[in-house]
Chain A
Amino acid sequence: MSMWEYANPRLFMSWTRSVLPWTFGLAGVCLVVGLVWGFFFTPDDFRQGSTVKIIYLHVPSALMAINAWIMMLVASLIWVVRRHHVSALAARAAAPVGVVMTLIALWTGAVWGQPMWGTWWAWDPRLTSFLILFLFYLGYIALWEAIEDPDTAADLTAILCIVGSIFAILSRYAVFFWNQGLHQGASLSLDAEKNVADVFYYPLLVCIAGFVLLFVALVLMRTRTEIRARRIKALQARGQHA
């Protein structure tokens, strides 16, 4: 069976019905274990003090804020190329989850920045590109809501998504593109020398897994909702024409 058949609306509804509870369950377990481990059982950092505990929320949410947009980009490109309705609906379903991830990253970053940098906010390249990404998320959701014809909405939001991807990439690599600003480089690295200490690293990995799984579960659930909403419209339109 071709992989595209799994995205057939009927088949999608069938396989996601059994996968969804497991994904939510695993996400809940990872989030509770990761956050409790990080908050209660990790030491303070010698420079940052207890604010280092914010890393367990900030890094996974920032990661997911960018990756949610990348997922929307892939789904939008599939829509543009293959006219696959479920992919357009999945992109739409992911946007509010991406907004929440971006808000958490901005909030935790500001709360951490105040005592560490002495300011809630700075027009630093990474922070600014992240704020623009947040505005793109809002614009993307507004555009979906503003256009009645779903195919036209999917086309126009796909274009917006492609344009916004510049800021998703900038949010990730701004520190390297402009070697200035307050924001430090990545907390996670394959180079052990640059990585955070193991005592912070392992609970952080569990939290990242929790955020990824929660994102997947929410997108699956919201896509199922969008498919059902689309079916309601189709049935109502059929009833009016009959």
Chain B
Amino acid sequence: MIGVGKMKQYSNVLDKPLSKGKQEVSLTAFAFLFSELVQYNQTQVDNIAELERRLEDAGYAVGSRVLELLCNREKGNRRETRLLGILSFVHSTVWKVLFGKVADSLEKGTEHEDEYMISEKELLVNRFISIPKDMGTFNCGAFVAGIVKGVLDNAGFPAVVTAHFVPIEGQQRPRTTILIKFADEVLKREARLSQ
């Protein structure tokens, strides 16, 4: 049989050539896996905040790896050093690779200088999720918020990232907004760099 038992051996995972990232798996497979992630974490916590934090942690691990992978593959070993550059990297490159599309919108917060929002009408991880009434404001998007935080943190842009449901008029399902609040030092550095 062709191919059987011929899988090439590498002594080290880093010797293996980097895949092009075109491979796909079924959405169902991912949805089931994600549901197991959420269910498992539900058994480990007492409250919603804790659950969101754990999902964020899981996402963070994904984000830090995605940054490394994409900087290497898509950007020729360079990474963004400016605020808008890294935001558009998250909104376009990261989103496109992970979710197959560019995020619906990227906006600057109107009330605070240090806030930015990435919104998605139907976030992939929320697609098959409905939140029971007793779980209040819980949002599985915490996982994606974690991914964003992982990317930003490791690129040198520490930020607090949270996921929120925002109702849209005339639509049954709310959209998900990922709110990014950058740390002071990031804004100060940015101001210095723009001079």
Q: Do A and B bind each other?
A: no
Interface residues of B (CB under 8 A from A): none
